[in-house]
Amino acid sequence: MAVLDPEMKQAVIRRTVRKFAEEKLVPAAVTMDQTAEFPAQLAQEMAALQYFGLEIPEAYGGAGLDSVSCAIVIEEISRASGAMGLCISVHNSVSTFPVYEFGNEAQRQKFLVPMARGEKIGTFCLTEPNAGSDATSIESTAVKDGDGYILNGSKIFVTNGGASGLNLIFAITNPSERGREYSVFVVESERQGLEKGEQEQLMGMRGNPVCPIVLNDCRVPRENLLGEEGQGMKIALSTLDGGRIGIGSQALGIGQACLEAAIKYAKERYQFGKRIGEFGAIQGFLADMATRVEAARLLILRASSLRAQKKRHAREAAMAKLFASETAVEAARIGLQIHGGYGYSKAYPIERYYRDAKVCEIYEGTSEVQRIVIARTLKK
C-alpha cells in the first residue's frame, strides 16, 4: 500500500485510500460491528500509511497534506467503515491539530510526534454528564499545586477513549463566576489518577472504543498545559471548526456508501418482471440521494478549501457538517427503504449505515447548534 505524500494529486490520494479501504476496512467493518472491538492491528497498518498525521507537517512525523486532501481521506475511510472514519477524524481534527496549533516546540516533540505517527491515539475530552451542547457548563477542575495541577472530574462519550494514549482534557482553572476560565491539558493515559470506564454499548460506530474517562486527583506538570491558562474555550472553538469538517467528511463517506449500496441493489432486485431500478419511484429516490450527496461534497470542499487557505470558515464548516450529516441520515433511510425487508436484516450493510449515520447529527455540535452558528453569522 502507498504511503500518503503531500506531492500526490487529490485524485491519486482518493484512489490510494479507497484501494486500502476496500481491501482492509470493508471486510473488517462487519466484524467490528458484531464484536464492538477496536482493530488495533489494522490501526497500526493505517499509522504506517500516515493516516494518523494527515495535516501535520512531515517534520513532526505527519503526511503534510492540505485540508482538502484530509477531508478526502476521511470520506474514503468512512465510506468503508464509519467507526474507523470516526477514529481518524477525531484524532486528526480535534486531537493532533490543537497540539500542533497551540503547543510549544517541546510539546510538539513530546506529544505531537507520536500522535502523528499513530503511536499514540488522541482524544478530545470536553463533554461531561452535565455539559453537552453547553460546553461552558463543564465541572472538571484543575487546581494549581506547586509546579503542576491537580485534575478532578468526569468526561463521557470519549471517542477513541479505550485505545487512547494521549487525552486533551478541558477543565476549569478559574472558578470565579465573573471571570470563569477554562484550560486544556494533555494527559497521558497511563498517568496516575486517570481511569477509563467500560466501553459504551452504542447503537452504531460500534468498532470505536467510546468510553468515559475519570480524573481523580490526577497530577500533571505545568508543561502539560496546552497554550496559556484560560485559553480553553478559544482552543475548543478554533478546533471544532476543523472537527466539523471532519465529521462532515465522515457523514459524506457514509452517505456515499448508502447511495452505492442502493444503486447496486436496485440493479439486482427483480419485482414484477423487471429490475426495481427501472421503476420511476426508485429512480426518483436515487436521483435525490445522488444530488444531496454531491451537494454535501461541494460544501465540504468549500469549507476545507477555505481552511487550507487559512481563511475564516466557521460558517462554512457548520453548513458542511449540518448538510452532510442530515444527508447521510436521509440517504440511509431512503437506501433502507429501497432494500425493503432485506434492508432491515444484517444480510446487507445498509442497516449498519443507518445506525452509523445518526450520530453524525449529534456529536461535535448537534444539527441545532450548527443552525445557531450559521444564523449568528447572517446577522453580521
Give the fold, CATH level 3, of 10-121.
Butyryl-Coa Dehydrogenase, subunit A; domain 1 (1.10.540)
Q: Residue 340 has which C-alpha cell?
A: 425493503
**What pTM did the predictor assign?**
0.96
Percent of the residues in the chain that have a pLDDT greater than 70, as a whole number: 99
Nearest to 228 by CA among 293, 291, 267, 181: 181
Residue 178 has pLDDT above 70, yes or no: no
Q: What pLDDT sits at residue 101? A: 96
**Terminal CA-CA length for the chain:** 48
**Domain ranges across the chain:** 10-121, 124-229, 233-378
Q: How far apart are CA 340 and CA 61, in angstroms?
A: 47
Nearest to 293 by CA among 330, 263, 318: 330
Question: Which of 31-35, 171-175, 255-259 is predicted with the least confidence, judged by mean pLDDT?
Answer: 171-175
Asked whether the beta carbons of 219 and 62 are under 8 A apart, the reply is no
Q: Which CATH code, of 1.20.140.10, 3.20.20.70, 1.10.357.140, 3.30.1330.30, is assigned to 233-378? A: 1.20.140.10
Q: Residue 224 has which C-alpha cell?
A: 502539560
Q: Residue 330 has which C-alpha cell?
A: 436521509
Q: What confidence tens digit (pLDDT) does each residue in 94-121 have?
A: 999 999 999 999 999 999 999 999 999 9
Mean pLDDT of 193-217: 97
Mean pLDDT of 32-47: 97
Nearest to 284 by CA among 273, 276, 294: 276
Which pLDDT band, with edges at 50, 70 and 90, does 226 fall under?
very high
Catalytic residues: 364
Q: What confidence tens digit (pLDDT) does each residue in 370-379 have?
A: 999 999 999 7
Cα distances (Å, whole numbers) of residue 66 to 39, 71, 85, 89, 134: 27, 9, 18, 14, 31
Give the fold, CATH level 3, of 124-229.
Butyryl-CoA Dehydrogenase, subunit A; domain 2 (2.40.110)
Nearest to 93 by CA among 300, 374, 328: 300
Q: What pLDDT sits at residue 177? A: 65
Q: What pLDDT sits at residue 5? A: 77
Q: How far apart are CA 45 and CA 202, in angstroms?
A: 25
Q: Residue 68 has which C-alpha cell?
A: 482538502
Which pLDDT band, with edges at 50, 70 and 90, does 303 fall under?
very high
Residue 1 has pLDDT above 80, yes or no: no
Q: Is 138 helix (H, G, I), strand (E, B) or coil?
A: coil
Residue 283: other Cβ atoms inside 10 A: 13
